[in-house]
Structure 1
Amino acid sequence: MTPTYAKSTWLFGRALGLVFLVAFVSWHVQEDGLIGAHGIAPAAELLAQLRERGLGFSDVPTLAWFFGADDAALSAMCFVGELAAFLLLVGVLPGPSALAAAVLYLSLHAIGGPFMAFQWDILLVEAGFLATLVLPWRLWHPPSATIEPPIFARWAIYALAFRLMFLSGVVKLASGDDAWASFTALDYHYFTEPLPNPLSWPVHQLGSGFHRVSTFLVFVAELGAPFGIVVALAARLTAGGIFLATKSDAATRIPRAIAKHALRVAGVAFIGLMLVIQLTGNYGFFNLLTITISIPLLDDALIERLVPKRLRGAFGRAAPRMWVGHRVVRLAQCSLLLFTYWLGSLALLAGLGLGPELPDALHEDLAAARPYRVANGYGLFAVMTRVRHEIRVEGSMDGVEWREYVFRHKPGDPTALPGVSAPHMPRLDWQMWFAALGTYRQNPWFHRFLVRLLEAEPSVLDLLAEDPFEGARPRFVRARVWDYRFGDVERWRERDEYWVTEELGAWSPTLH
């Protein structure tokens, strides 16, 4: 029996709606302090600078060109995006809802500055655009009316999953980082990752042997499992050739079974890796998004086994027809799919380091599509950081007594176990981790952040857990850098401290 993917496509649509909703709401609650009129990196200022440089929508695709980037317009984009995400979540107008969510999120990403520059932001945009080709363009898509998705659209999702996971493995080896090459990367990972969680400290204590095995399994999931998709593609093509030669479905049974199980292996490996990462760190909605992209790899028979028996009746049988009947629309969507495959292939080649070998015309194609985030290169944790530097921000009324600003999620108090923030994405806390990898001059947004603290700007102070001056304006602010590393169990028992800390010195000048 030919495997079907109607149920997994239905789950993919609902899960993607959830991810979009989480992403929009998470951004919305931070937006004023990050890019609002009185925020750290005002979007209106960025838009004005882009206009002065003669740039437009084709260079920076955002609806802000038409509706402005004031606080009301930014909030409206979030609200409409949340509405589109909710409609996608409940299965109302899934195709159009995915398109609307992707366009709105791209609009925010384009003017989000350093706070919208994460790989999972562009991954969400790309997944949203692909979803418009996979999900049905109909009023409602209930589980009882599941429809088999177009095979080429489904394989476009597979291509994205392959590119994401395989490139994430390749960059670890291509970087030349000896921590990955020697399988010692996870000896450092749990205390150097941007936002550890409560399990990071105990897992770190498990020792080098455990971490080496874990590193090996990461490579299996990122470099080995993606070839399940390649095997499945080869098996499907073989099945097609056999059918053309014999006109017999029975003769294609073995290659079809190979394809089904190869996709299962890839999907389960990807999902398993993301669940483990989710358990030991806070990566916003990245893990949930990657799991969502992996769901279409699982066929309906496997989905039925995983769903509780009492819920299986909600699913209908996969219909043989496609989700849209109009030939003109189908032709347009097929053209978009071919364009997507083309760009995705170019992005994969560029990610594999073959970019310099590509003709100039292909580089131009990639450059033209890059602002729209429809085909991206990925690669997470290419180089494992071995030390953790934390920036601690202080204010003072007299320049003698200094009080510390407390962040909501990043490490600070050495006696505090890291908390859980995912799937929320605390952008300022994350950006503080990246800032600590460089210098004050390399992070121009940080100067504006300190200025906003001097002004006691409420929208920026709302991003923090504690303002030591309770809304009053300090006369001085500064940033100091500290070294942080996990302590062992003995230190925790003796001092009740999870972190060993050491002050390294000034990170910024003192502003007043």
Structure 2
Amino acid sequence: MFQVRYTRNLFLRGLCIIYLFAFLSFYIQIPGLYGDNGILPAKTQVDLKLKVPLSQKLMQKPTLVWFAPYLGLNVEYMLDVLALSGIILSFLGFVSQKFCIAPVFAGLWATYYSLYQVGQIFMWFQWDSLLLETGFLCIIIAPLWNTQHSKAGTPSDSVTFWTIRWLYFRLMFSSGVLKLSSGCPTWWNLEALNVHFESQCIPTPLAWYAHNLPVWFLRLSTVHAIVSELVIPFLFFFPNRKVRITAFYIQLFLMINIIATGNYNFFNLLTICLSLSLLDDQFFYKKKSKTGNSGILNYLTTIVCIAVYAAVLYGTYVYYNLKLDLDNWTIHSAIAFTQKQFDEVLAKAVPISVYIGMISLGFTVADAVTNSILNVKGLKKKVTTTLVTVFYTLIVGSIFALSVVPYSSLHSSHNQTVPIQLKKLHAKVDPFQIVNTYGLFRRMTGVGGRPEITIEGSNSVDGPWKEYGFLYKPGNVNNSMPFVAPHQPRLDWQMWFAALGTYHQNPWLMSFAYRLLNGQKEVLALINIVENPFRDNPPKYVKASLYHYHYTQWSQKNSQAWWTREKVGEYFPVFSRDHPPLLEYLAKMKIVQDKPAPKVSNEPVKFVLDHLRAMVSKIEASILLWGVFTAGCAIILTASTPAPKKK
């Protein structure tokens, strides 16, 4: 049996880092997004004056925000308290293994879920759901308390930690499946990456260079991405550990490339954290073998690993019709199977993968139980350890069964095969984001040009109109994109999604326009202050236009521009501060209210929170996140450095 105690602990501390980034990023944006003067005030989601018992409120919307009156706070300040509590808990878990325990992870999950409940459209991202699902699993993976026994590890560790591998498989395989099952021509023609680097939400500076790579190389990279998500995940459960470790490196390579070219906040870091489930303690602490038999076994496992990946390469060569052109030193690629053939294989692959998961879990449980019986000393301890292993097996088995419900939706033919009782049980737990569906880049957007919304203001309907600048999304064609991850600028992200539809489909934009017309400083802090043409006084009118952006070509890089753009048309019409339909709509959304907000009676806490907010607001978001992370690393290094011996 391979031990996973150290690997598990490394994963738990890694997740604390992810939580830290997530809470910090959220905290920075509270006033502009969810404050009383924000775009979507959180107070519209929880009515603190509601005269019903607390238990009924929690049933209506399970969030810790309801406890605000008991602390003498309003909703906005309660969000500050919750976010800061999450920051403190995750930072403690980051710097010390002592705090990587179940109660701490329960607190982190409950806190983030509370923010998710009032986050509205700005929190409806797959990575938020993925963090909640992973965080929930950590409650059963982490030791109940930090004791000498938990440091030594228990047989049940491998059983609970297996849930992360299954989640990782569902995440990667689902992402690969949806790319092809969607029928998107850019994926089927292997042209997705020819568009992706230009059209993704917030590119990094390296995305421009990636976009200008040779077309044949981008097509080959698309093949690599699809194979990494469709085929390699099945090797996560391969009995040969070298096969799993190689799969880890393949996925790590994919994630590093995504991080280098796109700002996907903490998502790719969280995915890397999940990939640790493919490893074991021997990966970090290699033991030297003293027997010749082990040496022979090592060679055999290496040969098996080479054979497996040779088969993967051969399959890729056949099914993606790879051909080497020696004249131009290029590799041609094209999908050699039809959508009907893919659908037929997928119909078989989904249940097969569930069976593979069941077999893998079965072997893991059998190994853990055997280890409990044979290797644990003392009858009493042997019985206790075995019962604990069985207890966790029941929990893990239940989670696995629930996950089959959303996972089976990958193919329509399996929706009817899931037992109705299991569907009903999943429906009850679904609001808690314990098991979710995943799949990114189902369809590649921006094929005819990257759609972008520009918002302009003026003091006259006849102009001149002056454009607002954003901090992270494309605007000025001469500005390159920044590295901003792991911070997620949620306004910039939603502006990208809004550009794919109409303003009627994105009603929050009306509130955003209204805040700009009123010069609301909390909202203005979310955009580029330097490129704000109305810093002194807000404009009398605002409007929005839709543009199509394109990267400049490599031959044009002598110019200062990174982008070219052409105007498509109007996105939303001219609005003024006293525009009756606008005010009526905002009143209906409860964003503009006549009744005063609840007063804050806890002045000492308010004083501390206000001063902390004033200090944090002076630091750029990504710098703050990496600064706190660096401080945590410094604490770890200081604590691990032995004190000098006294002479």
1:131 equivalent to 2:145? Answer no
Q: Deviations over 1:442-496 (max 9, x none)?
A: 0011100100111111111110112321152211111111110111022221x32
Q: Deviations over 1:45-77 (max 9, x none)?
A: 02249989x995456432223436611111111
Residue 421 (structure 1) shift:
0.5
Distance in 1 separating the partners of 2:267 and 2:141: 21
SS of residue in 2 equivalent to 1:496: coil
**Which amino acid in 2 is paired with 1:391?**
I
Q: Give the alignment of 1:36-435 within 5 angstroms.
A: 36-48=35-47, 57-58=58-59, 60-67=61-68, 70-89=75-94, 90-94=96-100, 95-139=102-146, 150-232=157-239, 258=240, 260-304=241-285, 333-353=392-412, 354-385=414-445, 386=447, 387-399=449-461, 400-435=463-498
Residue 227 (structure 1) shift:
0.4
Distance in 2 separating the partners of 1:50 and 1:195: 40
**Which amino acid in 2 is paired with 1:115?**
F
Residue 139 (structure 1) shift:
3.2
Q: What RMSD in Å do the two structures reach over aligned CA positions?
A: 2.8
Q: Give the alignment of 1:8-23 within 5 angstroms.
A: 8-23=7-22
Q: For structure 2, which runs of at least 5 residues remain unmatched after alignment?
A: 287-370, 577-647
Residue 444 of structure 1 corresponds to: 507
Displaced runs of 4 or more, over 4 A: 49-52, 140-149, 318-322, 325-334
Distance in 1 separating the partners of 2:438 and 2:133: 12
SS of residue in 1 equivalent to 2:453: strand
Distance in 2 separating the partners of 1:439 and 1:356: 36
Residue 131 (structure 1) shift:
1.1
SS of residue in 2 equivalent to 1:501: strand
The answer to whether the 8 Å contact 2:159/2:392 transfers is: no
SS of residue in 2 equivalent to 1:407: coil
The answer to whether the 8 Å contact 2:64/2:114 transfers is: yes
The answer to whether the 8 Å contact 1:91/1:141 transfers is: no
**Which amino acid in 2 is paired with 1:30?**
Q
Q: For structure 1, which runs of at least 5 residues remain unmatched after alignment?
A: 233-257, 306-317
SS of residue in 1 equivalent to 2:144: coil
Distance in 1 separating the partners of 2:557 and 2:159: 55
1:51 to 1:355, Cα distance in 2 relative to 1, 3 A: farther
The answer to whether the 8 Å contact 2:471/2:526 transfers is: yes
The answer to whether the 8 Å contact 2:402/2:422 transfers is: no
Distance in 1 separating the partners of 2:56 and 2:525: 33
TM-score for both structures, normalised by structure 2: 0.68
SS of residue in 2 equivalent to 1:484: strand
1:459 to 1:15, Cα distance in 2 relative to 1, 3 A: same
1:200 to 1:139, Cα distance in 2 relative to 1, 3 A: same
Residue 326 (structure 1) shift:
8.3
Q: Deviations over 1:92-145 (max 9, x none)?
A: 331221221111111111110111011000100111111111122223799986
Distance in 1 separating the partners of 2:59 and 2:242: 42
The answer to whether the 8 Å contact 2:143/2:150 transfers is: no
Distance in 2 separating the partners of 1:192 and 1:67: 41
Larger radius of gyration: 2
1:117 to 1:175, Cα distance in 2 relative to 1, 3 A: same
Distance in 1 separating the partners of 2:122 and 2:21: 16
Residue 545 of structure 2 corresponds to: 480
SS of residue in 1 equivalent to 2:557: helix
TM-score for both structures, normalised by structure 1: 0.86
Q: Deviations over 1:422-461 (max 9, x none)?
A: 0111100001000000001000111001001111111111
Distance in 1 separating the partners of 2:143 and 2:405: 28
SS of residue in 2 equivalent to 1:176: coil
Same amino acid, percent of matched pairs: 35
Aligned residues: 471
SS of residue in 1 equivalent to 2:474: coil
